[in-house]
């Protein structure tokens, strides 16, 4: 894990956990610049994020445990889908697409609401169309504050 190889990051996490890290005027912890990928333009910044987090995609093929030491955290679920889509396109393997089957309670409503059902993104459920590639990293959703359920 990063804490083993980066003592400064480990100390930072410990200060947060112990309630000792400085906060700003809004009582929020500010993440140091050296832990953040700067935003320039969306695609450019995401590509930089991938290059820093996964510097050599070929390593995944020879050493699958390499992925266990890499993580991307996002603040919004929408970002997860966008990042996953971009990562999928970077891998040359054949994609496997899984599609859900949505059904209305009333059969007569099926043709009216099927497209609408495909646009819904329910919590804890995969998207209507899930594309995966062998050995490609996937970002999973996890609510870090379940009391807010957002």
Q: At what angle do helices 42-53 and 77-90 cross, to 10 degrees?
A: 70
Quick check: 3 pLDDT over 70? no
- Pairwise pLDDT comparison (26 vs 126), residue with the higher score: 26
pLDDT number for residue 82: 84
Tokens of 23: 């906060």
**What percentage of the chain exceeds 90 in pLDDT?**
1
DSSP 137: -
Overall average pLDDT of the 115-128 stretch:
71
Per-residue pLDDT tens over the stretch 64-112: 677 777 778 777 777 887 888 888 888 777 889 888 776 767 777 777 7
**What percentage of the chain exceeds 70 in pLDDT?**
75
Taking a C-beta distance cutoff of 8 angstroms, is the pair 99, 142 a contact? Answer: no
Give the pTM: 0.60
Quick check: 60 pLDDT over 70? no
Quick check: 150 pLDDT over 60? no
Q: Assign 9 a pLDDT band (cuts: 50, 70, 90).
A: confident
Which pairs from 62-68 meet CB under 8 Å and 24+ separation? 64/135, 67/135, 67/137
Quick check: 129 pLDDT over 70? yes
Taking a C-beta distance cutoff of 8 angstroms, is the pair 98, 132 a contact? Answer: yes
Overall average pLDDT of the 23-41 stretch:
87
Tokens of 123: 């919590």
């Amino acid at each position: 894990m990063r804490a083993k190889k980066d003592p400064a990051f480990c100390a930072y996490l410990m200060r947060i956990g112990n309630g000792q890290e400085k906060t700003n005027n809004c009582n929020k912890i500010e993440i140091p610049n050296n832990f953040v990928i700067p935003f320039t333009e969306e695609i450019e910044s995401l590509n930089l994020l991938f290059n820093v987090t996964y510097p050599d995609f070929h390593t995944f093929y020879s050493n699958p445990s390499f992925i266990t030491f890499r993580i991307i955290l996002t603040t919004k679920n929408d970002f997860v889908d966008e990042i996953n889509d971009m990562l999928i396109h970077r891998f040359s393997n054949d994609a496997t697409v899984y599609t859900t089957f949505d059904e209305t309670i009333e059969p007569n409503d099926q043709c009216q609401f099927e497209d609408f059902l495909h646009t819904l993104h329910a919590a804890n459920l995969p998207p209507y169309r899930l594309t995966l590639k062998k050995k490609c990293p996937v970002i999973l959703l996890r609510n870090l504050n379940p009391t807010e359920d957002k």
